[in-house]
Chain A
């Protein structure tokens, strides 16, 4: 059946079974592979998207249930990695393998949309549904606090320091503040 979906501000029509999970519609039908498959049971958070702003596990969300709702995926979070969460993720250099990070970023951005200055406990609560096997949690926590600051400042990122873009910042091999390196 034809279902109208509003994804990242664009309306698209898909002809798929009503009960097909949104995850597979995104990935296989529409070729939007930024949203990841991890468990198929809403246990790991890799497939997290926003439905009307709410973080939602797309792997158990029937596509028919989101018809007409506002769907945001990692591809639609910003056109140019400029969302504060993405900028903070780059600044803190969060990802390792990177596979879970779309879901982490979507959960974190949903958290910050409703709670602009989350405590560690609130971060635990909002993020415990997102598994990272590379163990980037410490940097995720740090990056969420950093994104909260950036969001508050809302203007240019604080540490870009003359660099034009987040990518320039990243490519600079200059020392960063690196925890406990002796």
Chain B
């Protein structure tokens, strides 16, 4: 599969075709990348657009427009699987292009074009199936018209239309142009799932070949004619600004071309990235650090703790938790804390922009095309329809590349220069100027009856609001649902539950970090549930199982994970395990983590993680496995090492030496099991992050008798 960039005319022509696609089709002037594009080729291969996602050339290449960002989660392959199933085309004929920013590609989950919240399969399932079914119907109709037979006497198979009675056949490519001129049927039925030949089958990724030989183009790999390279000096303190700067020494560095001030700092422009970095080192900037300059991890923790006596916004209230708590036979109370976390995508942030008087082009590893387009237009000084977003492969996203700060920097720099520029973030820039997973602080309390079963649960959470930071005014009653997800939706049958939230803003930028609020609240709630089980002298699995009597899908994954992990069988000496179950992004996951602890060396080794998931009908089981593995590694990194500390209003971590992540030698064996389901498909990208952290901490409790209530896990926790 090739991912060659389409020509300018091609992309615009296709988009035009796509835009009119709903009403009446037209042929796009589109050149499939596979046939790298000469004018002659365009003349001999007029490909036909059947809708905004599917285009067929006369030589039977089916181009699928990928309107979600491919950041490793496998959506490119999943979208092709859905399209190919309904279109009934030859899997080998598929070619892909990343879609431009356009209304046709708005994610119904957001009302904008973007990728996140594990929403891609969930939001594309119906539109893509309908588009495929309609396109197939149009191809059938075109063949039937050509043969002057009834459409119902024709059938499709693997990109070919057959008329059995007359033993005639024709390929999709030869009737695509005629098909594209037909009205779009509104009633073409998607397939009966029992006829699926692609969906639900473990299918290898289409982007793998380009990712084993360096061909796949990430944002950082974009090359434009006459492009220059820039890095930006930003105020190390959040919210700070440039007071003044002296570029004399920076400009003296060989290769440095110029230095320009932009909103976010000072851009050093050079003829290569390294020279730009050297120039930035020589640049002298005086910063106005602003009011956040006194913030520290300690002051932030105290700020959170000080909120605990206040009454928060009500996130959930059932029964009378306060009374039930005071009348309980046994009371438990605990404070849990989670730190800020960086995303640390392997590809540092970057963006290439070319701002002209009448148009702006942006090449970026972005998760949020519509916002990127609007910002490119605003800062480039053009109308949104004159801003063109070229989405590349993303070298990891995890929520970070939903931000557009890096896009704005490149657009502003290009505008100042009057030509194309690539802005590259160093690892240090990336780690110190993130939109962090919010630090959070929670006080939990519970009451047990004389029989050891819970009668009351309360949680008070203090943390910053992501939604108010990104979409001001979007929350109601001071309640940000992302701040309490993973605890407010506690699935257990406890008669009295109260959860409230106190929005607390320490001034550190926050954002969506893989699994969002579930990442910390899952830790709080599933560790505290484990505390309850231990206090009630119950097995942690049996305890959860009984309390999930009204949560069948939670129970389904819990039982599957326990069974596959052999919960009922004793472990070898020195091995311990913990369990956790959570709902996130319309899906369910349970995990059993098996560990050993070396208490004299104060180290923990994770040996095995058994993961059971229920995400409705599965598009690609192979992707589900990969995403579970990926999410578990991401979660383990956070539990074992992740800690963005603040001192003097700035982040003290700089690179992978002091922001450690899981490496090969710490990798456990991961097994993934899927609960078979015919429910609507949901999403795999984030689901398996939240349970692994509490399951690990619960396993450590099993080994040491000590609770982990503050992340990351410290060596003293393991003594």
Residues of B in contact, count (CB < 8 Å): 86
Q: Which residues on B sit within 8 Å (CB–CB) of A128?
A: 663-665
Partner of A95, one of B211, B424, B633: B211
27 A-B pairs within 8 Å (CB atoms) are namely A24-B274, A39-B655, A43-B657, A44-B656, A74-B213, A81-B213, A93-B204, A97-B397, A98-B207, A99-B218, A101-B211, A131-B346, A132-B346, A133-B634, A133-B637, A134-B346, A137-B633, A137-B664, A139-B629, A140-B664, A171-B206, A173-B91, A173-B201, A176-B622, A179-B672, A181-B202, A181-B673
B393 close to A181 (CB less than 8 A)? no
B667 close to A133 (CB less than 8 A)? no
Q: Which residues on B sit within 8 Å (CB–CB) of A98?
A: 72, 207-208, 210-211, 216, 218, 393, 395
- Name the residue of chain B whose CB is nearest to the CB of A182: B673
Most buried by B among A35, A90, A166: A90
Q: Which residues on B sit within 8 Å (CB–CB) of A24?
A: 272-274
Expressed in whole angstroms, the minimum distance between the Cβ of A172 and any Cβ of chain B is 8
Binding site for A on B (CB under 8 A): 1, 70-74, 81, 91-92, 197-198, 201-218, 220-221, 223, 229, 254-255, 271-275, 277, 344-348, 393-398, 424, 426-427, 560, 564, 621-622, 624-626, 629-634, 637, 655-657, 661-665, 667, 669-676
Q: Does A180 contact B (CB under 8 A)?
A: yes
Residues of A in contact, count (CB < 8 Å): 75
B203 close to A138 (CB less than 8 A)? no
Q: A39-B427, A137-B667, A182-B674 are in contact. Are A90 and B345 (CB under 8 A)?
A: no
> Within the assembled complex, what's the spacing in Å between the Cα atoms of A75 and B213?
6
Q: A41-B655, A74-B213 are in contact. Are A93 and B622 (CB under 8 A)?
A: yes
A33 close to B655 (CB less than 8 A)? no
> Within the assembled complex, what's the spacing in Å between the Cα atoms of A179 and B634?
20
Q: Which residues on A sit within 8 Å (CB–CB) of B637?
A: 133
Expressed in whole angstroms, the minimum distance between the Cβ of A83 and any Cβ of chain B is 9
Q: Does A21 contact B (CB under 8 A)?
A: yes
> Within the assembled complex, what's the spacing in Å between the Cα atoms of A179 and B609?
13
A33 close to B656 (CB less than 8 A)? no
- Name the residue of chain B whose CB is nearest to the CB of A86: B212
Partner of A181, one of B208, B395, B674: B674
A97 close to B661 (CB less than 8 A)? no
B212 close to A33 (CB less than 8 A)? no
> Within the assembled complex, what's the spacing in Å between the Cα atoms of A105 and B656?
20
Q: A28-B274, A39-B656 are in contact. Are A90 and B208 (CB under 8 A)?
A: yes
Q: A38-B346, A97-B394, A99-B218 are in contact. Are A28 and B273 (CB under 8 A)?
A: yes
Digit string of A36-68 for contact with B (CB within 8 Å is 1, else 0)?
A: 111111011010000000000000000000000
Expressed in whole angstroms, the minimum distance between the Cβ of B76 and any Cβ of chain A is 11
A124 close to B629 (CB less than 8 A)? no
- Name the residue of chain B whose CB is nearest to the CB of A180: B671
Q: Does A96 contact B (CB under 8 A)?
A: yes
Q: Does A31 contact B (CB under 8 A)?
A: yes
> Within the assembled complex, what's the spacing in Å between the Cα atoms of A132 and B198?
29
Expressed in whole angstroms, the minimum distance between the Cβ of B105 and any Cβ of chain A is 21
Q: A95-B205, A131-B663, A182-B560 are in contact. Are A34 and B346 (CB under 8 A)?
A: no
Expressed in whole angstroms, the minimum distance between the Cβ of B280 and any Cβ of chain A is 12
B220 close to A178 (CB less than 8 A)? no
B346 close to A100 (CB less than 8 A)? yes
> Within the assembled complex, what's the spacing in Å between the Cα atoms of A95 and B202?
15
> Within the assembled complex, what's the spacing in Å between the Cα atoms of A172 and B205?
10
Q: Does A136 contact B (CB under 8 A)?
A: yes
Quick one: which of A1-52 are within 8 Å of B by CB?
16-17, 20-21, 24, 27-29, 31-41, 43-44, 46
Q: Which residues on A sit within 8 Å (CB–CB) of B426?
A: 40
Supply 8 further A-B pairs (C-beta < 8 A) apart from A43-B655, A97-B70, A97-B346: A17-B254, A41-B427, A44-B346, A95-B208, A132-B633, A137-B664, A171-B206, A179-B671
Q: A38-B346, A134-B72, A137-B667 are in contact. Are A174 and B205 (CB under 8 A)?
A: no
A90 close to B218 (CB less than 8 A)? no
B71 close to A97 (CB less than 8 A)? yes
> Within the assembled complex, what's the spacing in Å between the Cα atoms of A85 and B684?
28
Expressed in whole angstroms, the minimum distance between the Cβ of B94 and any Cβ of chain A is 8
B223 close to A31 (CB less than 8 A)? yes
Q: Which residues on A sit within 8 Å (CB–CB) of B277?
A: 40
Expressed in whole angstroms, the minimum distance between the Cβ of A21 and any Cβ of chain B is 6
Q: Does A102 contact B (CB under 8 A)?
A: yes
> Within the assembled complex, what's the spacing in Å between the Cα atoms of A31 and B629?
34
Expressed in whole angstroms, the minimum distance between the Cβ of A43 and any Cβ of chain B is 4
Partner of A182, one of B71, B427, B634, B675: B675
Expressed in whole angstroms, the minimum distance between the Cβ of A162 and any Cβ of chain B is 14
Digit string of A146-182 for contact with B (CB within 8 Å is 1, else 0)?
A: 0000000000000000000011101111111011111
Expressed in whole angstroms, the minimum distance between the Cβ of B557 and any Cβ of chain A is 11
> Within the assembled complex, what's the spacing in Å between the Cα atoms of A136 and B73?
12
A37 close to B213 (CB less than 8 A)? no
Partner of B202, one of A44, A132, A134, A176: A176
> Within the assembled complex, what's the spacing in Å between the Cα atoms of A101 and B217?
13
Q: A28-B274, A39-B656 are in contact. Are A97 and B213 (CB under 8 A)?
A: no
Q: Which residues on A sit within 8 Å (CB–CB) of B201?
A: 173-175
- Name the residue of chain B whose CB is nearest to the CB of A34: B214
Q: Which residues on B sit within 8 Å (CB–CB) of A20?
A: 272, 274-275
Q: A20-B274, A99-B395, A181-B673 are in contact. Are A46 and B346 (CB under 8 A)?
A: yes
- Name the residue of chain B whose CB is nearest to the CB of A137: B667
Q: Which residues on A sit within 8 Å (CB–CB) of B670?
A: 138
Q: Which residues on B sit within 8 Å (CB–CB) of A41?
A: 427, 655-657
> Within the assembled complex, what's the spacing in Å between the Cα atoms of A120 and B1?
33
B213 close to A77 (CB less than 8 A)? yes
> Within the assembled complex, what's the spacing in Å between the Cα atoms of A140 and B633?
14
Q: Which residues on B sit within 8 Å (CB–CB) of A131?
A: 346, 656, 661, 663
- Name the residue of chain A whose CB is nearest to the CB of B633: A135
Q: Nearest 8 pairs between A and B by C-beta?
A: A34-B214, A135-B633, A99-B395, A97-B72, A98-B211, A96-B72, A33-B221, A28-B272
> Within the assembled complex, what's the spacing in Å between the Cα atoms of A95 and B205?
9
Expressed in whole angstroms, the minimum distance between the Cβ of A123 and any Cβ of chain B is 7
> Within the assembled complex, what's the spacing in Å between the Cα atoms of A37 and B277?
13
- Name the residue of chain B whose CB is nearest to the CB of A23: B274
Most buried by A among B208, B631, B672: B208
> Within the assembled complex, what's the spacing in Å between the Cα atoms of A17 and B271?
12
> Within the assembled complex, what's the spacing in Å between the Cα atoms of A37 and B210?
18
Expressed in whole angstroms, the minimum distance between the Cβ of A149 and any Cβ of chain B is 17
Q: Which residues on A sit within 8 Å (CB–CB) of B661?
A: 131, 133
> Within the assembled complex, what's the spacing in Å between the Cα atoms of A107 and B665?
15
Most buried by A among B212, B347, B395, B564: B212
Q: Which residues on B sit within 8 Å (CB–CB) of A93?
A: 204-205, 208, 622, 626
> Within the assembled complex, what's the spacing in Å between the Cα atoms of A16 and B629?
42
B220 close to A95 (CB less than 8 A)? no
Q: A33-B221, A90-B208 are in contact. Are A135 and B634 (CB under 8 A)?
A: yes
Partner of B393, one of A37, A46, A97, A100: A97
B214 close to A95 (CB less than 8 A)? no
Expressed in whole angstroms, the minimum distance between the Cβ of A28 and any Cβ of chain B is 4
